[in-house]
Amino acid sequence: MSTHPSRTGRRPGVLSSGTGLVATMAVVVLFSGIVQGYLTPLLPEVGLRLRIGTVGQNNIYLLSQLAFAVMTPLLSRLGDLYGHRRLLRVALAMVAGGSLLIAVRPSAVTLAVGVVLQGALVGFFPLLVGILRSRAPEHSRTGISLLVGVLLIAIGVGGLVAGALSERHAEAGLWVAVPVAGLALLAGLVLPDSDAPHGGRFHYGAATLLTTGLVALVLTLAQGGTWGWGAPRTIALAVLAVVVLAAWVAVERRSAHPLVSVRLLTNPRLALVSCYTFCAAFGTIGFLGANALFLGSPRSATGYGMGLGPQAIATLSLAMVSAGFVGATLTPRLARQFGDRAVLVSGGGLIALGFLGMVLFHHTLAQYVPSALVVGLATGLFESSTRTLSAEVVARSETALAVGLNELALSLGAAIGAAVIGASFAAHVVHGTTRVAESGYLWGWGACACAALVGTALALRYRGPHAADATYARQPVQNGELA
């Protein structure tokens, strides 16, 4: 479908076909995946060279999680208010600046500032979907699926390339994201804006409440296992998160220009899809750290594990995300043939099957790899289908925010999944050592399977939009509310 210059005043020569649009967006998503994949495997060695201890490394990771949680709804809403392309360019500049800062002058301070700036990458997908749904709606489903596939592959490739570059010099791997940042900035310059109606006001009070509540919530989830789930500061932060978020909802209900439409939050299909996303991300993303630990554990010392080195672990991770790419690109065809509900159910069922396979068959690499690949395949299915459906159940003018809320559900699901697995590890430490018993992994995998089964049960309740609902979703919005 051709774009409409008359609606945005674009100059001739900017992207005019859906295929070209998706290809250019893929460059931005490639950058997002590289950034998400390259730093984590480098941090232990870089931290050692920069004299950043384990606590400091954990704090850097925590800062990135806080940035993700806070920026997801803010960038999405600002894009709906002031233009998806404008906010995409802002987000690209932030992530590129953070990546360059980390590479040029690595230190504890620049790493901390850099990962916060890189947190703006959570805005890429919601803003890109806002443009895609507006400019080339007939490419929406296939485009989103392709972008999810590129994202997954890029995450795996980012870690693999960074690991290879850092073998001789740990800090060399920090430059992986910089050249891709330049390409992504160019892509951001040629992408058109969406033609969804803009306007409204940014509610600073609601933004402050939402930011405070999300920070308290993520801190509770990330640090609860370290502080102790019954510790006073953990409980205090959890209470603060609940109180502040409840106050935010009350403020939004009374506001003429809400930051996030409360009616959007009560959209039944969006709520179901987001809850499903939470359950699926609990295992597929929450277990990634535990997966690396299990693969790297020497069986001779622990009685379990595969004893793989960093490069071998990165290679297996790339195989998992390659399976995810296959799942993502197959999603539109499967949805056309069997329906959206069947795809959601299949994704949840495959995740549960993969983790149950790990519980039963994990004694050799040949046993473990098929289960890991099943989880990777299901990751592509669920990420593609949920991002597509979250965009389609709302008006075009709130596309970015709806996809952003689904992204937030994904981040929170991953955080809680990692916290639950961490608690399982802490409860199954071999007496007199710091080594986790095999039972810790078994309980962790079991928890991931249970969460996936809950998601599957939710998927069985999904109902596609009826004609009346489709008409409702196309209505223009006023003051941030669905009309």
Segment 305-314 mean pLDDT:
82
Give yes or no for residue 467 having a pLDDT over 50: no
Q: How far apart are alpha carbons 196 and 82 in whole angstroms? A: 10
Segment 256-280 mean pLDDT:
85
Q: How far apart are alpha carbons 296 and 309 in whole angstroms? A: 6
Q: What is the pLDDT of residue 27?
A: 96
Top-confidence range, 251-265, 319-333, 400-414? 319-333
Q: What is the pLDDT of residue 226?
A: 73
Task: With beta carbons less than 8 A apart as the criterion, state whether 113 and 65 touch.
Answer: no
pTM above threshold 0.75: yes
Closest alpha carbon to 284 in 214, 231, 347: 347
pLDDT in tens, 64-82: 878 888 898 889 888 888 8
Segment 353-357 mean pLDDT:
96
pLDDT in tens, 401-456: 888 888 889 988 888 888 888 788 878 888 777 788 899 899 999 999 999 999 99
Q: How far apart are alpha carbons 472 and 268 in whole angstroms? A: 13
The number of CA neighbours under 13 Å toward the Cβ of 472 is 12
Top-confidence range, 43-47, 201-205, 336-340? 336-340
Q: What is the pLDDT of residue 124?
A: 93
Q: What is the 3-state secondary structure (H, E, C) of the chain?
A: CCCCHHHHCCCCCCCCCHHHHHHHHHHHHHHHHHHHHHCCCCHHHHHHHCCCCHHHHHHHHHHHHHHHHHHHHHHHHHHHHHCHHHHHHHHHHHHHHHHHHHHHCCCHHHHHHHHHHHHHHHHHHHHHHHHHHHHCHHHHHHHHHHHHHHHHHHHHHHHHHHHHHCCCCHHHHHHCHHHHHHHHHHHHHHCCCCCCCCCCCCCHHHHHHHHHHHHHHHHHHHHHHHHCCCCHHHHHHHHHHHHHHHHHHHHHHHCCCCCCCHHHHCCHHHHHHHHHHHHHHHHHCCCHHHHHHHHHCCHHHHCCCCCCCHHHHHHHHHHHHHHHHHHHHHHHHHHHHHCHHHHHHHHHHHHHHHHHHHHHCCCCHHHHHHHHHHHHHHHHHHHHHHHHHHHHCCCHHHHHHHHHHHHHHHHHHHHHHHHHHHHHHHCCECCCCCCECHHHHHHHHHHHHHHHHHHHHHHCCCCCCCHHHHHHHHCCEECCEEC
Quick one: CA torsion of 141, 145, 150, 153, rounded to 10 degrees? 180
Give yes or no for residue 11 having a pLDDT over 60: no
Segment 460-471 mean pLDDT:
62
Q: What is the pLDDT of residue 479?
A: 35
Q: How far apart are alpha carbons 314 and 108 in whole angstroms? A: 25
Instruction: Give the torsion sign (CA, 47, 52, 53, 58).
Output: negative
Give yes or no for residue 396 having a pLDDT over 60: yes
Q: What is the pLDDT of residue 7?
A: 43
Task: With beta carbons less than 8 A apart as the criterion, state whether 308 and 296 touch.
Answer: yes
pLDDT in tens, 113-155: 999 999 999 999 999 998 998 888 888 889 999 999 999 999 8
Fold exhibited by the domain 16-197 = Growth Hormone; Chain: A; (1.20.1250)
Top-confidence range, 13-27, 202-216, 368-382, 415-429? 368-382
Going by pLDDT thresholds of 50, 70 and 90, the confidence category of residue 196 is: low
Segment 358-369 mean pLDDT:
93
Q: What is the pLDDT of residue 483?
A: 27
Closest alpha carbon to 439 in 447, 423, 428, 450: 428
* Euclidean distance between the first and the last CA atom of the chain, given in angstroms as a whole number: 27
Q: How far apart are alpha carbons 201 and 249 in whole angstroms? A: 17
Q: What is the pLDDT of residue 471?
A: 38
Q: What is the pLDDT of residue 4?
A: 43
What is the Cα 19 distance to its own chain's centre? 24
Task: With beta carbons less than 8 A apart as the criterion, state whether 134 and 396 touch.
Answer: yes
Give φ, ψ of 482 to 5 degrees.
-65, 130
Q: Write down the CATH number for the domain with range 260-475.
A: 1.20.1250.20
- Mean pLDDT taken over the chain: 84
Q: What is the pLDDT of residue 67?
A: 87
- Token pair in block for residue 128: 């890109």
Going by pLDDT thresholds of 50, 70 and 90, the confidence category of residue 354 is: very high
Q: What is the pLDDT of residue 188?
A: 94
Q: How many residues does the chain have?
A: 483
Segment 293-299 mean pLDDT:
85
- Token pair in block for residue 465: 């939009």
Q: How far apart are alpha carbons 33 and 153 in whole angstroms? A: 7
Task: Give the position of tokens 């978020």.
Answer: 245
Give yes or no for residue 8 having a pLDDT over 90: no
